[in-house]
Amino acid sequence: MRDFNETTATAAVLERMSGCKDRRLKEIMASVVTHLHAVVREVEPTMEEWMAAIQFLTQTGQMCDDKRQQFILLSDTLGVSMLVDAINHRKPSGATESTVLGPFHVAGAPKKKMGDTISKDGKGDPTYVSGRVLDQAGQPIAGALLDVWQSSSDGFYDVQDQRQPEMNLRGLFTTAADGRFFFRTAKPSSYPIPTDGPVGKMLMALGRPPMRPAHIHFIIGAPGFEPVTTHLFVAGDEYLDSDAVFGVKGSLIVPFEQHDDAKRAQQLGLANPFFTAEYEFMLVRETG
Ligand code: BEZ
Ligand code: FE
């Protein structure tokens, strides 16, 4: 190949990979090169624009370490994470839908008993979350593990906020034979994804709000069932239709009802007034 030009470029690069022994790698890289060249042909970047793109990706990489992952945030905000998730978690109707994991999951959350609170500082609006974990026939699943985490009522995860105790608003709950779960917490609020890096600048330049609607994260697993990584979103949140990471699904929006009932509050171990939210998760049996 001595005549690499606008017309021959794509074929030339594909031909150079023809000896690749890994079929899947070859398939993926051929697609990446073909689409990337198509983008370049379509937008015809100036040299300055191309260098700005290189700098953007360089800064994205420079903001990745064992605690921060700016590339995942980039994938999240471009809708790629949710698209990959959708392709990999095609579910039968009625099964709980999945969403992005997000950067704030921490392994090894404290084990809790049903009814416990996950709030270590007692701040925020008292909230009672309950429901059941069911199979597709509507039968309760015993021994399902719910890994729960959420931001504080002012919109920060414990790992982002020195003022919160470690493992605040995190807990692991295991269902009994009735499949029920119930715990106390603080009502979550909407919050911005981290905006101090290139992804934040990108959102700003695109006129996109960095906000996520209020939610509680769950990973739910049970022996013999496919685990699901999901959220429950607070109905009525102003950002449900503009989630910065495209994580919202209608089936995961739940009313958080406010109650003014001192007797019931006392029974549930909450201050009055309080909120309740209820949801039934449905897991799919593993096949094969
Ligand atoms: C989160 O909900 O914790 C989250 C998800 C994706 C990107 C940033 C934050
Ligand atoms: Fe979150």
Q: What is the mean pLDDT of the chain?
A: 96
What is the predicted pLDDT for the residue at 197? Answer: 95
| Per-residue pLDDT tens digits for 98-154 | 999 998 999 999 999 999 999 999 999 999 999 999 999 999 999 999 999 999 988
Percentages (nearest 5) of helix, strand, coil residues in the chain:
30, 20, 50
pLDDT above 90 coverage of the chain, percent? 94
**Residue to probe by mutation, ligand 1, list 76, 105, 150, most atoms within 8 Å of CB:** 76
Query: How buried is 67 (Cβ within 10 angstroms: 0-12 exposed, 13-18 middle, 19+ buried)?
Result: exposed
Query: What are the structure tokens assigned to 270, written together?
Result: 């909450």
Question: For residue 82, is pLDDT > 90?
Answer: yes
Mean pLDDT along residues 59-80: 94
What is the predicted pLDDT for the residue at 117? Answer: 97
Query: What are the structure tokens assigned to 56, written together?
Result: 């953007």
Report yes or no: 12 and 34 within 8 Å, Cβ to Cβ. Answer: no
Report yes or no: 170 and 117 within 8 Å, Cβ to Cβ. Answer: no
Whole-angstrom distance between the N-terminal and C-terminal Cα of the chain? 48
Please tell me the pTM assigned to this model: 0.93
Q: Which atom of ligand 1 is nearest to the CA of 231?
A: 2
Q: Cα–Cα distances in Å, from 38 out to 7, 41, 261?
A: 11, 5, 62
Is ligand 1 within 6 A of the CB of residue 143? no
Is ligand 1 within 6 A of the CB of residue 73? yes
Question: For residue 2, is pLDDT > 80?
Answer: no
Question: For residue 89, is pLDDT > 80?
Answer: yes
Helix 80-88 vs helix 70-77: crossing angle, to nearest 10? 80
What is the predicted pLDDT for the residue at 165? Answer: 95
What is the predicted pLDDT for the residue at 212? Answer: 97
Query: What are the structure tokens assigned to 192, written together?
Result: 């911005």
